[in-house]
Structure 1
Amino acid sequence: MTTPNKPAPVTPVLTKRWLSPTSWSIKTYEQLEGYTALRKALKGTPEQLVQLVKDSGLRGRGGAGFPAGIKWSFMPPNEDKPHYLVINADEGEPGTCKDIPLMMADPHSLIEGCIIASYAMRSHHCFIYVRGEALHCIRRLNAAIREAHAAGYLGENILDSGFDLEITVHAGAGAYICGEETALLDSLEGRRGQPRLKPPFPAAAGLYAAPTTVNNVETIASVPFIVNGGADWFRTMGTEKSPGPKIYSISGHVSKPGQYEAPLGTTLRELLELAGGMKDGIPLKFWTPGGSSTPMFTTEHLDVPLDFEGAAAAGSMLGTTAVMVFNETVSVPWAVMKWTQFYEHESCGKCTPCREGTYWLAGILERMVEGRGTEADIDTLLDICDNVLGRSFCALGDGAVSPITSGIKYFRDEFLALCEQNRGAYVGAHS
């Protein structure tokens, strides 16, 4: 077992087919162990598969990190109502860009994972909810589904197992809120995407009021590898509480931005080495470990293990491992303002704290960045954040305040400088 401080190098798992010629075709997929896990899974029972995923320690790769096997076990064993598996491929968080490349380069790994997971949860219809702007991705998934049908991996009596499954790809309309699982379900049913009150939870009453499990793309794409390799093999990567490989999306001021697969627990220092270091040699200033909704880190956090426990212990969240890197040329208040404008625009408006809070936060930050801020604005920002955090209907509100509170925590002097600039201009005009 590797230690959190020094993860061992990992042979590509999730990305091993990405650079193969026509990696998205079923021919390439089958040449590289494709659909062998499905044959193996269908020889076992649903209960055995759920236990295998539990034993592997696989945690949700969509941000929350909830154990996938436990989530699967919430599905009732009886089939008096249809069971549904829904794949959250909305991916709308700023900086998050791992699922769409995965579906573009290796769609069959997701499809095989869907079939195995559906079998484990006694589901006969799976939906993949893709962000509507990702048109090429939607076409590639549909083509892969047609290939899987033709090969007998989808449809009725899959591989003579008696198990039936259909997969439907649904294009969303491009709303960030639909990344929240219950808003996604409302959108999938044809309604406006807004979070639902819980309970009931989706496992009891989800899509069409039937038992439903919602999983992230990367989570489900990991399943065929676990079936083939076993739980113990999966645990040789990552850390004890956060096992397995992970796709880290590195963007911003690095020499080679892109997707980097590494064991959970890898540090930013190690990821920067993979990404060729800071672009043009300009030093690092701040970064996000998991997208714009996770509290930012600074140069002090270069050696924080990027797993679920390590990021939390350091005061942030692993999120979707969307590592956005900013050098010393970037103004923190400006970056925070841009993120806040996004959250204001994407708030669904259902609850007052988020709808009103993001509006006022964006307005104050815009005024400060223009040089018209006051010192009292900093306290006002923190006060509004305190009123939004934990009080909004869903996690969008919590995510919206993270850049602001962490930005002020680590770079208060930059916010104060905007106020001093304002005060100097005022004194000069009235002297």
Structure 2
Amino acid sequence: MMRIFVSKDMASVALGADSLAEAFASAGCEVVRTGSRGLFAIEPLAEVETDEGRIAYGPVGPNDVSAVLDGSHPARIGRIEDHPFFSGQQRFTFARCGVTDPLSLSDYAAHGGWKGLETALGLSPQAVVDAVKASGLRGRGGAGFPTGIKWQTVLDAAADEKFIICNADEGDSGTFADRMLIEGDPFCLIEGMAIASHAVGASHGYIYIRSEYPSAIAAMREAIARSATKIAPFTLEVRVGAGTYVCGEETALLESIEGKRGEVRAKPPLPAVEGLFGRPTVINNVLSLAAVPFILAEGAQAYAEVGFGRSRGTMPVQIAGNVKNGGLYEIGFGVTLGELVNQIGGGTASGRPVRAVQVGGPLGAYFPPSMFHLPFDYEAFAEAGGLIGHAGITVFDDTVDMAHMARFAMEFCAVESCGKCTPCRIGSTRGTELIDRIVAKAPRAAGTLETLPQMRNARTAARSHEEEIDLLRDLCDTMKHGSLCALGGFTPYPVLSALDHFPEDFGSGHALTEAAE
């Protein structure tokens, strides 16, 4: 019986993978459902097991089954490892994704699973923490705080109970790595959390998954049930997110797990000292915890040898937006932004020139092609006025209006704010109004009073276009330094970067739209 591998990742399913799998099963084939390989332009993808290895065809549909089985289909890719999108990757975290049956314990073990946990259990907790420190692993989200330092703080804290929390509340637009890993290799995340529990002395863990990911929730719950004996006495459970972006912030997430409204806590105390139910708590995101099994199995040095500067190891970069090769590309830090967009991403799907790239989700900065020399590195992006965050890259062509994108950032913050702090709650609303006035008061709009938004008072109406821009910059400074959490604190990144790199869009409002037409 011929063996066929078809993804059951939700992105693949959305493109017709279920129908394809059913067609192969009807043709008498043994169908193994895997995670996605990570290049959505070739999904639905079918891989045929042969004496030469797995031979891939994609994209293909149910009507292509016979041509795939006899090897004559023109969408033949060959060995997926030889495809240009995959041949240059360094897959430490996503090595099994797309290769194995995600819920098969035997498949997981046959492809190197549990080696990291077995190594960790043979070491003292301090030795495990030291290994994570030596690897240089930093939080794969937010500001990139060193993971080993966080673990050390929890290990040193005296308490009768400690917790491990995985933040899988993947709310950034253009990001999907958490979902891909949970649906494609959930035991990897479980193993990473079990290692963390041994390292800090935690007895129980929570995986907080956003409610919009029902398939990921089901996959993780099943994986926890199947691996319960393997990770005992550590226990795990899934908590479903409360449907709000701010619960991706670690202290709002704690409030949600405790059954409260998702609001940001003031810090200190830090969660590592006083976290869930007042106990010391490790909170890492999916990609941080999923990197840990490789570090323990292969050694901290093997991980630390890859990367750039203080950014060590690999980063699963998610490429989305107006781009030809949308998908996940895992590579060591140091690859340039231009390589990710133009060579790996293939440029825009529309065929028009790239005008801007947003890195780090909806609160990330916008970069023009003149900055494509930047290496993908925490420090390099921070110095350039941006952040890597969850490593989501969204590509825009030359029809985008960057004033509108800056307004979207403020509006997004206003909608998603938990309301606890004034700079975020009020500042984002005033920022949206400010950008409306800036566009309306732009020189090209002079004399067209009917385009002006309703002014709050005579002073607002009297301010010049330049004074409104200065006020917006001042507001961004207040939000950046006065907000309780990163929602209000990071919203200025897209606004200020749009102002700095695309000032013409704030001076002429609709000029780009008219040029595109």
TM-score by length of 1: 0.89
TM-fit CA distance, 1:367: 5.4
Q: Deviations over 1:375-419 (max 9, x none)?
A: 143233223222222011112112112111111111111111129
Question: Could you say which residue in structure 1 is the equivalent of 2:381?
Answer: 311
TM-fit CA distance, 1:312: 1.5
> Is contact 2:403–2:439 with CA below 8 Å preserved after alignment?
yes
TM-fit CA distance, 1:99: 1.1
Choose from 372, 375, 387 the match for 2:452: 372
- Write out aligned runs for 1:15-414 (5 A): 15-77=94-156, 80-149=159-228, 152-155=229-232, 164-272=233-341, 273-366=343-436, 372=452, 375=465, 376-414=467-505
**In 2: Cα distance, 1:99 partner to 1:314 partner:** 27
SS of structure 2 residue aligned to 1:266: coil
SS of structure 1 residue aligned to 2:315: strand
TM-fit CA distance, 1:27: 2.9
**In 1: Cα distance, 2:373 partner to 2:181 partner:** 27
Q: Deviations over 1:55-112 (max 9, x none)?
A: 1111110221111111100014465420111111111123332211111111111000
**In 2: Cα distance, 1:35 partner to 1:235 partner:** 21
> Is contact 1:24–1:104 with CA below 8 Å preserved after alignment?
no
Could you tell me which amino acid in structure 2 is paired with residue 133 of structure 1? Answer: E
**In 1: Cα distance, 2:301 partner to 2:478 partner:** 45
**In 2: Cα distance, 1:407 partner to 1:295 partner:** 8
Could you tell me which amino acid in structure 2 is paired with residue 345 of structure 1? Answer: V
TM-fit CA distance, 1:130: 0.9
**In 2: Cα distance, 1:11 partner to 1:248 partner:** 11
TM-fit CA distance, 1:217: 0.6
Which stretches in structure 1 are left out of the alignment for 5+ residues? 1-7, 156-163, 422-431
**In 2: Cα distance, 1:76 partner to 1:112 partner:** 19
**In 1: Cα distance, 2:102 partner to 2:236 partner:** 21
TM-fit CA distance, 1:23: 3.3
> Is contact 1:292–1:399 with CA below 8 Å preserved after alignment?
no
**In 2: Cα distance, 1:196 partner to 1:398 partner:** 14
Could you tell me which amino acid in structure 2 is paired with residue 136 of structure 1? Answer: S
**In 2: Cα distance, 1:418 partner to 1:380 partner:** 18
TM-fit CA distance, 1:365: 3.0
Question: Could you say which residue in structure 1 is the equivalent of 2:506?
Answer: 415
Q: Point out the more displaced range, 73-82 or 127-136.
A: 73-82
TM-fit CA distance, 1:236: 2.0
Q: CA RMSD in A?
A: 2.0
**In 2: Cα distance, 1:137 partner to 1:232 partner:** 32
Question: Could you say which residue in structure 2 is the equivalent of 1:160?
Answer: none
TM-fit CA distance, 1:337: 1.9
**In 2: Cα distance, 1:420 partner to 1:308 partner:** 34
Greater RCO structure (CA 8 Å; 6+ sep): 1
Size of the aligned set, in residue pairs, is: 404
**In 2: Cα distance, 1:188 partner to 1:170 partner:** 7
Q: Point out the more displaced range, 114-123 or 369-378.
A: 369-378
Instruction: Please list every run of at least 4 consecutive aligned residues from structure 1 whose deviation after the TM superposition is greater than 6 angstroms.
Output: none
Could you tell me which amino acid in structure 1 is paired with residue 362 of structure 2? Answer: S
Q: Deviations over 1:237-271 (max 9, x none)?
A: 11141110110011111101111111112112221
For the structure 1 residues 146 and 387, does the alpha-carbon distance in structure 2 shift closer, same or farther, using more than 3 Å as the test? Answer: same
TM-fit CA distance, 1:35: 1.0
**In 2: Cα distance, 1:295 partner to 1:13 partner:** 27
Q: Deviations over 1:144-186 (max 9, x none)?
A: 001102xx2133xxxxxxxx11001100111111111111111
Could you tell me which amino acid in structure 2 is paired with residue 405 of structure 1? Answer: L
**In 2: Cα distance, 1:420 partner to 1:327 partner:** 15
**In 1: Cα distance, 2:154 partner to 2:386 partner:** 31
Q: Point out the more displaced range, 334-343 or 115-124.
A: 334-343
SS of structure 2 residue aligned to 1:396: helix
Question: Could you say which residue in structure 2 is the equivalent of 1:429?
Answer: none
Could you tell me which amino acid in structure 1 is paired with residue 420 of structure 2? Answer: K
Q: Point out the more displaced range, 23-32 or 391-400.
A: 23-32
> Is contact 1:81–1:211 with CA below 8 Å preserved after alignment?
no
Could you tell me which amino acid in structure 1 is paired with residue 369 of structure 2? Answer: T
> Is contact 2:318–2:392 with CA below 8 Å preserved after alignment?
yes
For the structure 1 residues 417 and 122, does the alpha-carbon distance in structure 2 shift closer, same or farther, using more than 3 Å as the test? Answer: same
**In 2: Cα distance, 1:58 partner to 1:109 partner:** 16
Q: Deviations over 1:7-60 (max 9, x none)?
A: x95432212111125234323212211112211211111111000001111111
